[in-house]
């Protein structure tokens, strides 16, 4: 099967999984997932499967990326914070839908590789740094949208603080029974309305010990 027909098959899979936002589907078609996929898994780049990257981390399955992106309801004037850059695939998708993506990764090597890929694709609206994403990016807050691509036990409080009023955050949360739920949080002033939007399976969000500022 040619790469193009694999891509079409993947987009059809996204549609049947409930991805109806045509902007999201169009961006998935434009961003080459094979560029983010490790050499050993090139044949799986357009399969709907999570794939291992370095440091025992994984890049999410593409349907999950599309569903999370859709749930985030990203607008082209918005600033988006991503915690957990990983391969950079999710950040690249977001970069085509918003004004600027700020993305944080705890492994420098993963981030370096992701930055190379952004350069190769001519993406100039992603700002990235190494660090503990549970602290967010206070210098750039507030963010209209926040996405966390590693599972936390609860909503990291500093991320809640850095979410703009009216903003949306999407993140996987441990359900306490060995599973994870994908949660969408909407902020209204000091209220955070949460909604369970499905099951998830992410690597854990590992809090570091960066000093608070």
Candidate residues 63, 68, 104, 170; the one interacting with ligand SAH per rule CB under 6 A: 104
Structure tokens at 134: 């549970």
150 is an interface residue for ligand SAH by CB under 6 A: yes
User: In the chain, where does DSSP find H-type helix?
Assistant: 3-16, 22-30, 62-72, 89-95, 108-120, 157-162
90 is an interface residue for ligand SAH by CB under 6 A: yes
Which positions from 70 to 89 touch ligand SAH by CB under 6 A, shown as an x/- string?
-------------xx-xx-x
117 is an interface residue for ligand SAH by CB under 6 A: no
How many positions of this chain bind ligand SAH (CB under 6 A)?
25
Neighbours of 71 (CB within 10 A): 21
* Residue 205 DSSP SS3: coil
Per the residue annotation, which of 5, 60, 95, 128 is the catalytic one? 60
- Nearest Cα residue to 160 out of 192, 208, 128: 192
Active site residue 60: yes
Q: Which residues in 127-146 contact ligand SAH (CB under 6 A)? A: 132-134
Q: Which residues in 44-73 contact ligand SAH (CB under 6 A)? A: 57-60
Report how far residue 165's alpha carbon sits from residue 13's, in angstroms, rounded to the nearest whole number: 34
Stretch that binds ligand SAH, among 117-125, 137-145, 186-194, 200-208 (CB under 6 A): 200-208
Tell me the CA end-to-end span of the chain in Å, nearest whole number.
52
Q: What is the DSSP letter of 134?
A: G
**Residue positions annotated with a catalytic role:** 60
Residues lying near ligand SAH in the complex (CB under 6 A) are found at 57-60, 83-84, 86-87, 89-90, 104-107, 110, 132-134, 149-150, 203, 205-208
């Amino acid at each position: 099967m040619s790469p193009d027909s694999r891509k079409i098959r993947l987009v059809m899979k996204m549609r049947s999984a409930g991805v109806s936002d045509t902007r999201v589907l169009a961006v998935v078609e434009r961003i080459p997932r094979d560029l983010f996929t490790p050499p050993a898994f090139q044949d799986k780049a357009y399969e709907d499967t999570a794939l291992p990257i370095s440091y025992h981390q994984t890049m999410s399955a593409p349907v999950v990326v599309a569903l999370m992106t859709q749930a985030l309801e990203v607008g082209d004037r918005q600033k988006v914070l991503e915690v957990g850059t990983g391969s950079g695939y999710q950040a690249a998708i977001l970069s085509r839908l918003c004004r600027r993506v700020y993305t944080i990764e705890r492994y420098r090597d993963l981030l370096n590789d992701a930055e190379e890929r952004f350069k190769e694709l001519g993406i100039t609206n992603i700002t990235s740094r190494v660090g503990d994403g549970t602290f967010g990016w206070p210098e750039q807050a507030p963010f209209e949208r926040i996405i966390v691509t590693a599972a936390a036990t609860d909503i990291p409080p500093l991320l809640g603080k850095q979410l703009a009023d009216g903003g949306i955050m999407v993140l996987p949360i441990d359900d306490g029974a060995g599973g994870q739920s994908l949660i969408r949080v909407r902020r209204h002033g000091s209220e955070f309305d949460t909604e369970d939007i499905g099951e998830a399976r992410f690597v854990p969000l590992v809090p570091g010990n960066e000093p608070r500022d």
